[in-house]
Amino acid sequence: MEPLLSTEENIAAIASAISPGQGAIAIIKISGPSSIKVVKAIVQVPGKQLWDSHKILYGYVIDKNIQKKIDEVLILIMKAPRSFTGEDVVEIHCHGGLIAVQEVLKQVLNQPNTRRAFPGEFSQRAILNERIDLTQAEAINELISAKTTKAAEIAMSGINGEITQQINSIRDNLLDQLSEIEARIDFEDDLPPLDSQGILSNLTLIHERLSRLVHDAEQGNLIRNGLKVALIGLPNVGKSSILNLLSKQERAIVTSIPGTTRDILENEIVLEGIPITILDTAGIRETKSEIEKIGIALSEKTLATADVIVLIFDLSQGWTVDDEKLLQKIPKSTQTIILGNKSDLAKESKGKPKEADVTMSALTGKGEKEMIEAILKIFNATKVSGIQVALNERQLDLVTLAIKALERIDTIAAQNLPWDFWTIDLRDAIYKLGELTGDEVTEEIHNRIFSKFCIGK
């Protein structure tokens, strides 16, 4: 991505999702010093409508080369500094779909000093103009991609500045400690001795606050990205029936014929606020069918990528040698739940008994709640409702580095090293927290962050 520090040009992009037949209205956003002039050049506004800030005008976008109306539009004007970017911003609300919106955008981009926006460039300009900070911009992006209501709530906390408030509070405390130490270094003879234990106690409290943020970030990652849960087992143990039960719809074909599922079926659901991708795999067994072999190979690959594996066996058949072989194929590092299905037929069990983590009947639904609880309990996902603020991956990495810097100070203190050594790691922790909020961010880091944003934001 090219440097985005210059704000002399106007930038434009489609700011709404567009798809054939999906949405009657599309929005094109233009921001920059002459954005109003750009729009005036391509529209025809009947009557005596005033181009005032925060007013909506009605008109037509015109291709002036052929004097042809392209679309009927509404125009929303937001003059600086009362706009998202802090610059003059104009939104053109045109008809949705693919053709009309692209034709309108083409007219905009044909105007002088106007170009297509890079991903995240509107948000970056908002930061450069001090309308929002970096954590708020990232939270906006997270709100756009939120998969659950809880994920949206956490994103809104970030937009409201709660992440910045917490980090700045901690950073200010560290700056106070640093200034106390540096004062003693510079004016040691004029000031009373510094209480090293007092400073260490304070740093311990800061360490605990940062550690809580790390813990909540790990839980927040579940809320944002969810879990990938693979249903595996021998043919005809009820994997597809369980997928349909969880999905509340007929996603998979269910028959009494073993080997019906030949491909990996995916379905996204939300359990207790956590997005879950359920993978229904082909039954793993010895077979001569080439098509079924392909499905089984895909199932075995899934074992290495799933966050949780639910190994399903048939209670009416009992635990078999083949079930045990399948259990041995699961990577030891992968969380596994052994689920006994067909509890409604368990009295007829013919095989070796096996103590299951959960038993259920996909036919009657009995045991479904217990299965869901078992999946969520593995990652303490039942406690995510209390999380209000959750750092993203970039922010989490920086807090982790700040924690390590504080831990190095403990080592320095234990070795009775001079105060100068304390300041090195204190400065490092302060810098990392400043990088988190954007106070210490370089242009290169800015570009890297915003390149992951969607175009139009």
Q: What is the distance of C-alpha 146 from the center of its chain?
A: 7
CATH 3.40.50.300 residue window(s) in the chain: 147-437
Q: What single string gives the DSSP state of each residue in 5-59?
A: ---SSEEEEE-S---TTS-SEEEEEEESTTHHHHHHTTEE--TT----TT-EEEE
User: Nearest Cα to 103, choosing from 44, 57, 62, 56?
Assistant: 62
Q: How far is 91 from 15, CA to CA, in rounded Å?
A: 9
User: Nearest Cα to 165, choosing from 389, 371, 356, 457?
Assistant: 389
Mean pLDDT across the stretch 39-55?
Answer: 94
Q: How far is 402 from 427, CA to CA, in rounded Å?
A: 10
Q: How far is 217 from 56, CA to CA, in rounded Å?
A: 41
State how beta strands 89-95 and 68-78 pair: antiparallel
The confidence score (pLDDT) of residue 286 equals 54
Neighbours of 63 (CB within 10 A): 15
Q: How far is 24 from 96, CA to CA, in rounded Å?
A: 5
User: Nearest Cα to 384, choosing from 179, 172, 149?
Assistant: 149
Q: What single string gives the DSSP state of each residue in 248-306?
A: TS--S---SSTT---S-EEEEEEETTEEEEEEEPPPP-----HHHHHHHHHHHHHTTT-
pLDDT, tens digit, 9 for 90 and up, residues 66-101: 889 999 999 999 999 999 999 999 999 999 888 889
The confidence score (pLDDT) of residue 299 equals 63
Q: How far is 393 from 396, CA to CA, in rounded Å?
A: 5
**CATH, range 147-437:** 3.40.50.300
**What is the per-residue burial (b if ≥16 Cβ within 10 Å, else e) of 183-221?**
ebeeeeeeeeebeeeebbebbeebbeebeebeebbebbb
Q: How far is 19 from 325, CA to CA, in rounded Å?
A: 47
The confidence score (pLDDT) of residue 54 equals 95
Mean pLDDT across the stretch 427-454?
Answer: 83
Name the 3-class secondary structure at 228. Answer: strand
pLDDT, tens digit, 9 for 90 and up, residues 244-279: 888 775 443 343 434 444 445 677 888 777 888 888
> Can you give the pTM of this predicted structure?
0.76
Question: What residues have CB less than 8 Å from 195, skipping those under 6 apart?
Answer: none
Rounded to the nearest 10 degrees, how much is the dihedral formed by the CA atoms of 447, 452, 456, 457?
-80
User: Nearest Cα to 307, choosing from 247, 215, 237, 226?
Assistant: 226
Mean pLDDT across the stretch 350-377?
Answer: 81
pLDDT, tens digit, 9 for 90 and up, residues 399-427: 999 999 999 999 998 888 888 888 999 99
Mean pLDDT across the stretch 352-369?
Answer: 82
- Which helix or strand (DSSP H or E) is residue 335 part of? strand 335-341
pLDDT, tens digit, 9 for 90 and up, residues 340-355: 998 888 665 554 456 7
pLDDT, tens digit, 9 for 90 and up, residues 1-26: 344 455 789 999 998 877 666 678 89
CATH 3.30.1360.120 residue window(s) in the chain: 10-133
State how beta strands 358-359 and 335-341 pair: parallel
Q: How far is 427 from 154, CA to CA, in rounded Å?
A: 30
Architecture of domain 10-133: 2-Layer Sandwich (3.30)
Q: How far is 122 from 18, CA to CA, in rounded Å?
A: 19
Q: Burial, 335: exposed, middle or buried (Cβ in 10 Å; 0-12, 13-18, 19+)?
A: middle
CB 59 within 8 A of CB 41: no
pLDDT, tens digit, 9 for 90 and up, residues 150-204: 888 888 999 999 999 999 999 999 999 888 888 777 666 556 667 788 889 999 9
Q: How far is 166 from 152, CA to CA, in rounded Å?
A: 19
